[in-house]
């Protein structure tokens, strides 16, 4: 025979389940962070270099340059500094990279910060 809860309270299952899910999500993010960071940096670098070449060598509109991206690069956003002749690609909250056009070498990425 089951005993009744003397205080008439429900068991506290949901707060523990939410806490467990949060701990698992944080653990998964911590585990996957190096891979996410590497993919984001690569995507931003490729996007900046490709869009800079498209814009300043090919003479196309910046909005047209996303057609040159690889599949899966929908999270890469572009902005342009016309005076500096540079294009910046950003993966929100993860990575940012700028490529600048120079006569001779073409579009060159900014150096990466050393860890």
The count of domains in the chain is 1
pTM passes above 0.85: no
Is residue 44 within 8 Å of 97, Cβ to Cβ?
Answer: yes
- For 31-54, what is the mean pLDDT? 92
CA dist 44 to 21, 37, 67, Å? 31, 11, 15
Question: Domain range spanning residue 85?
Answer: 18-109
- Within a domain: 66: yes
Tens digit of each residue's pLDDT (9 = 90 or more) over 71-102: 989 999 999 999 999 999 999 999 999 999 99
Give residue 3's pLDDT. 58
- Within a domain: 38: yes
């Amino acid at each position: 025979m089951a005993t009744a809860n003397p205080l008439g309270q429900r068991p506290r299952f949901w707060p523990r389940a939410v806490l467990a899910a949060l701990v698992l999500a944080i653990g998964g993010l911590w585990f996957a962070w190096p891979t996410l960071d590497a993919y984001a940096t690569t995507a931003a670098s490729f996007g900046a270099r490709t869009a800079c070449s498209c814009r300043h060598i090919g003479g196309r509109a910046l909005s047209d340059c996303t057609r040159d991206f690889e599949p899966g690069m929908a999270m890469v956003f572009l902005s342009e500094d016309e005076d500096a002749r540079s294009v910046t690609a950003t993966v929100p909250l993860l990575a940012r990279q700028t490529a600048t056009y120079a006569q001779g070498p073409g579009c060159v990425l900014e150096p990466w910060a050393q860890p």
